Amino acid sequence: MASSGAAKGRIPLPGGCGPPYCWPMATRTRPSASRQAPPIEADIGIAGAGLAGLAAALATAGRGFSVVVVAPAPTRPDLRTTALLASSVAFLDRLGVWQEMADAAAPLAAMRIVDATGRLFRAPQADFRAAEIGLAAFGHNLRNDILGQALRAAAIATGRMSFVQAAVEDAVFRPDGATLLMSDGRRLDCRLAVAADGRNSVLRRASGIGERQWSYPQTAVVLNFEHEFDHHDTSTEFHTPSGPFTVVPLGPRQSSLVWVERPREAARIAAAPPAELAREIEDRMQSMLGKVRIVSDIQAFPLAGMTARRFGRGPLVLVGEAAHLFPPIGAQGFNLGLRDVELLDRLAGACGRDGLPRLGERYHRQRALDIGLRTASVDLMNRSLLSAFLPVQMARSLALHALCAIAPLRRLAMREGIAPGSQLRHLLDGPRGPGQPSSAAK
């Protein structure tokens, strides 16, 4: 557990997008004399050019705001793939970028959970089919490098976004905006700062917004492989006592693997000769896809959890892993990050330039529930796998039994999975709430 904080001063603001807000300011440093070159100016300054930062740049530049993205050169390629849920695909489509990546994406028409824990209380195999809720696919899986390139190209094509290759080192926040201090000695003055600078966010730290952190005794190993048999657009998650082993379609007879293991075992896997590893992967999958050939490098990601104490304040909002971090179970991380961006996009469009410095409060209020629920459910699912406590294993097994046996419950879980929050709204509004089509009709 770790958290940070600072002395708080209260700055009353005039009306508009947000109410008066509390702001930590006592510990902020001011730009030094050496940084007094004329600042770069933009409506929105974004720290970080990962998937969340690029999506935020595309959305806000597409709305007509001037945007500057500040990020250092990447230190290593991102070999991961992302399973985008249908709601994320719809958002990317609205941003006009989905068609640029659609050909490289594999549809996920079915999802299967296999209990490979070998424990006393084992769950039955659970199959979820998109067709059962009237959809062709739950979502699509594609390589992160392709997704990132498409987002970057589309953001550049708006003509209102530029890049600065530098790290943000510090920031000063005022009622009318923020100044980001960059490693090349320059400053960026903006009306709204977006922290998309990942799990160790400098902007989050500079703002005095603390975080709750925790660790897991797990590392995710990722790679892509070709296989002998068709995957039939089905993603399979094997639940093991050390974490999920998830195989996701990536193309014709090609899949990506996210293999979560204890760190020592993960190090062994990452160093294993490819042919030997391919055989091991085939065995783990009980040869369901036949012979396996590894076609990518292997990368490892130590797992951790983190939630920021706030998701926005005044002229600052946090998106992606700067706001929330949890293990890769059920393809939630970047999908949650895209919902951050979706709200940022909507609120910025409603506030206009003048409202940007006060957007943080409203953003925080509207993101807190979704982020809290997703973080808690992924954490619970992960811990239920790791736990040797029999009642926990029994509860997990019963929950999967119920999903297999009770069709309406299964459909509700599937709809909630692809459009989070929709089922709660559905229950509150009734089958045809105000201005909402019924979920079944979606």
Ligand X SMILES: Cc1cc2nc3c(=O)[nH]c(=O)nc-3n(C[C@H](O)[C@H](O)[C@H](O)COP(=O)(O)OP(=O)(O)OC[C@H]3O[C@@H](n4cnc5c(N)ncnc54)[C@H](O)[C@@H]3O)c2cc1C
Per rule CB under 6 A, is residue 71 in the interface with ligand X? yes
Touching ligand X, residues 106-145 (CB under 6 A):
none
Of 17 and 59, which CB lies nearer to ligand X in the complex structure? Answer: 59
Per rule CB under 6 A, is residue 301 in the interface with ligand X? yes
Per rule CB under 6 A, is residue 216 in the interface with ligand X? no
Please pick, from the candidates 98, 238, 311, 334, the single residue that binds ligand X as defined by CB under 6 A.
334
Please pick, from the candidates 18, 24, 45, 50, the single residue that binds ligand X as defined by CB under 6 A.
50
CB-based contacts of 344, cutoff 8 Å, min separation 6: 56, 59, 60, 194, 317, 319, 359, 363
For residues 242 and 260, what is the distance between their CA atoms, to the nearest angstrom?
7
Per rule CB under 6 A, is residue 197 in the interface with ligand X? yes
Contact 318, 55 (CB under 8 A): no
Residue among 416, 338, 419 at smallest CA distance from 94? 338
Contact 165, 188 (CB under 8 A): no
Per rule CB under 6 A, is residue 178 in the interface with ligand X? no
Please pick, from the candidates 305, 315, 328, 417, the single residue that binds ligand X as defined by CB under 6 A.
328
Per rule CB under 6 A, is residue 333 in the interface with ligand X? yes
Of 175 and 263, which CB lies nearer to ligand X in the complex structure? Answer: 263
Residues touching ligand X, count (CB under 6 A): 33
Contact 185, 39 (CB under 8 A): no
Task: Report DSSP letters for 290-302, one per residue.
Answer: -SEEE-S--EEEE
Per rule CB under 6 A, is residue 211 in the interface with ligand X? no
- Coil/strand/helix, residue 185: coil
Per rule CB under 6 A, is residue 335 in the interface with ligand X? yes
Of 169 and 176, which CB lies nearer to ligand X in the complex structure? Answer: 169
Report the nearest approach of ligand X to the CB of residue 389 (Å).
Answer: 26
DSSP label at residue 311: S
Of 183 and 436, which CB lies nearer to ligand X in the complex structure? Answer: 183
For residues 38 and 43, what is the distance between their CA atoms, to the nearest angstrom?
16
Residue among 321, 318, 345, 338 at smallest CA distance from 418? 338
CB-based contacts of 383, cutoff 8 Å, min separation 6: 392
CB-based contacts of 391, cutoff 8 Å, min separation 6: none
Please pick, from the candidates 82, 234, 307, 382, the single residue that binds ligand X as defined by CB under 6 A.
82
Report the nearest approach of ligand X to the CB of residue 236 (Å).
Answer: 14
Judged by the rule CB under 6 A, the positions of this chain that interact with ligand X are 47-53, 70-72, 74, 80, 82-83, 167-168, 196-198, 202, 220, 222, 258, 301, 320-321, 328, 331-335, 337
